Amino acid sequence: MCESLCNQAGLLQTRGRVLYTDNYYTSIKLAKHMYEKYGWTIVGTIVPTDKKHREADDFPFLKLSNGARDSVGRGWFREAALKLQTPSGSTYYIQATTWRDKKQVCFVSNCTVGFSNGISVKRHVRGKRDREIIDGVRAQAEYVKYFNAVDRNDRDSADYSTSIRTNRYYLRIFCWSLDRVIHCAYNILCFMVMRKLGNPDWKKYLNKNEGRRDFQIDLAIEIMNYGLSLDWDGGDDRPSYMRKDIFVPCNCKKCFFCQCGVTGVVSGVPREGVKRKAVFHFKCGARKVTKGCTEVRVDLDKGASYCRMCYRNAPCTLSAKDKRKLCKGSRLGCNQCREPICEVCWEKGYDKHQR
């Protein structure tokens, strides 16, 4: 249970049977529990403290004072090992390491135990062009390979969060858990795609621009399709939460209604391409329902751009770049056509059919 909760919270990153943990969740007690109960080893950073009274499960090294830290050079380290036994009688070790890099860094590890002899790392030094070589430690060499797993998890939560602001704490917990489940599912999908397993179409979800977003949207559609299929078989007896009127035209071919064929011609809904009435919301708060273009220019919320009518009226002999130089800029235009039109062209008469 401890293992699954830590993984869902993004506190642990696993590689094989090794756990990579973040600062505030690493302890000697966690290392003992994970090894004795599950056989998992651990390597992670820990926050040193100033307290003097210590027990067997506490980190053995103190937090260095500023004077003590500055008196030792970069690469200074101290290590201590604790010999323990599992309930079955086998022996294992937990090693604690304090290392002076730019700041004091402390590690707890029971997967790479032993004296750190002959290990070095390169570090930048102020005022020097080339990096210096300083002494390193075993735990740091293992930890640095996958230490950014927690950062990637937090970044994923920030970019693709499904949580909502509410005083009902259980909804926040549910949304947080859902985010972690989606993140784990995406990692599994990426693992399968890179090893050429599963559906070949899943490769599109590895796209660095919109792949993660598309995965979450497609996953949500599939979940809704499955839920709707449990409540409705496509007949006339619809669930209470489903609209009783004819369905809205849709040609996505992904949603449950498109798959059932209820948004096509059979249900009496016009085909795609038939223009429906559009509702425009102006900044003053007014609304207008129309099938044609608006009579006044509105802000398109797309930023300033070159006037499309000026571009069309420019001489054909010019290049596209030279045409844009002759155009006037505007943020306003027809909200239905979604084209920026300058004031001069609008007064002359903007005809969308000239496009």
- Express each pLDDT in 256-279 by its tens digit: 888 887 775 444 444 444 455 566
111 phi, psi to nearest 5 deg: -110, -25
pLDDT value of residue 18: 60
Point out the least confidently predicted range of 84-93, 152-161, 330-339.
Answer: 330-339
How sure is the predictor about 284, in pLDDT bands with cuts at 50, 70 and 90?
low
For residues 86-95, give the mean pLDDT. Answer: 92
The answer to whether 207 and 214 are in contact (CB under 8 A) is yes
What pLDDT band is residue 212 in, cutting at 50, 70 and 90? very high
Asked whether residue 283 carries a pLDDT value surpassing 70, the answer given is no
> What contacts 47, CB < 8 A, 6 or more positions away?
23, 24, 106
Note the pLDDT of residue 264: 57
Distance CA 67, CA 71 (A): 6
Top-confidence range, 125-134, 142-151, 181-190 = 181-190
Q: Tokens in use for 187? A: 């990692």
| Tens digits of residue pLDDT in 7-53 | 433 344 444 456 656 566 788 888 999 899 888 888 888 888 887 66
Instruction: Please state, for a pLDDT cut of 90, what percent of the chain lies above it.
Output: 22
Query: Which residues does residue 343 pair with via DSSP β-bridges, in sequence order?
Result: none
Mean pLDDT of 329-350: 82
The pLDDT score that the predictor gives to residue 202 is 92
The model's confidence at residue 128, banded by pLDDT at 50, 70 and 90, is confident
Task: For residue 244, name the pLDDT band (cuts at 50, 70, 90).
Answer: confident
Burial class (CB within 10 angstroms; exposed 0-12, middle 13-18, buried 19+) of 316? exposed
Residue 92 has pLDDT above 90, yes or no: yes
Q: Which phi and psi angles does 210 have, rounded to 5°?
A: -125, 10
- Give the separation between CA 26 and CA 213, rounded to whole angstroms: 32
DSSP alpha helix (H) spans, the chain: 2-8, 28-38, 66-71, 138-143, 149-159, 169-194, 211-231, 256-260, 308-313, 320-326, 343-349
CA neighbor of 44 nearest in space, from 173, 138, 147:
147
Look at residue 265 in the predicted model and tell me its pLDDT.
Answer: 46
Would you say residue 324 has pLDDT above 50?
Answer: yes
Indicate if the pLDDT at residue 123 is higher than 80: yes
Average pLDDT over residues 162-172: 85
When pLDDT is averaged across residues 230-252 and rounded to a whole number, the result is: 83
Domain range summary for the chain, segments of one domain joined by +? 2-148, 152-264, 293-354
CA atoms within 13 A on the CB side of 137: 27
